[in-house]
Amino acid sequence: MNAFLKLNGISSGYACVVLVFGHGLLYGMNVVKPLGLSYSISVKMVVGGTFLLAGLLTWFCMRITKNWMQGRASAFWAAVLWFPYWLLIGAVLALVLPGEDNFYAMYMLAVFLIPFYPLFTATAIGISALWHESAKKKLNRRTAGTNIP
């Protein structure tokens, strides 16, 4: 049961990465506009900030995948399970923020990201599994050197 809850937590984390990325690109200008900067600088700030934030969230999800799933093959189910969480969190955002056009954002994300995001998620989970295995090998090498009689 514990691995099931961890898997669902990881899946919701990867869904949040997609939501932050999509909403950052679609609504980021609303945040930067009041600063009074030129349009080109504002666009660079929004795109750069969105990619930076999505990258940091992905790194965080990879760390959690590494620590929680410990290289289990069942972690790859998160490449599929992020989708229901994405729909659920998007629907909650639409209820909480009724003035925004969240369904337009969800539609645009669906058209452009759904074909590629499972590959991205599977790659991130695979890197996390390799990261866990290399950490385990490094620990084994350290402990093997200290136990020599």
> What are the tens digits of pLDDT across the range 64-79?
888 887 767 777 778 8
Q: Running DSSP on this structure, what letter comes out for residue 100?
A: S
Mean pLDDT of the chain: 80
Tokens representing residue 17 in the block: 């990465």
0.85 exceeded by pTM? no
Query: Looking at residues 97-110, what average pLDDT do you find?
Result: 68
Q: How confident is the model at residue 106 (pLDDT cuts 50, 70, 90)?
A: low
With CA atoms as reference, report the closest residue to 64 among 17, 115, 19.
Answer: 17
Query: pLDDT value at position 83?
Result: 85
The DSSP result for 49-76, as a single string, is: HHHHHHHHHHHHHHHHHHHHHTT-GGGG
* 8 Å CB contact between 90 and 106: yes
Query: pLDDT value at position 105?
Result: 65
Q: How confident is the model at residue 56 (pLDDT cuts 50, 70, 90)?
A: very high
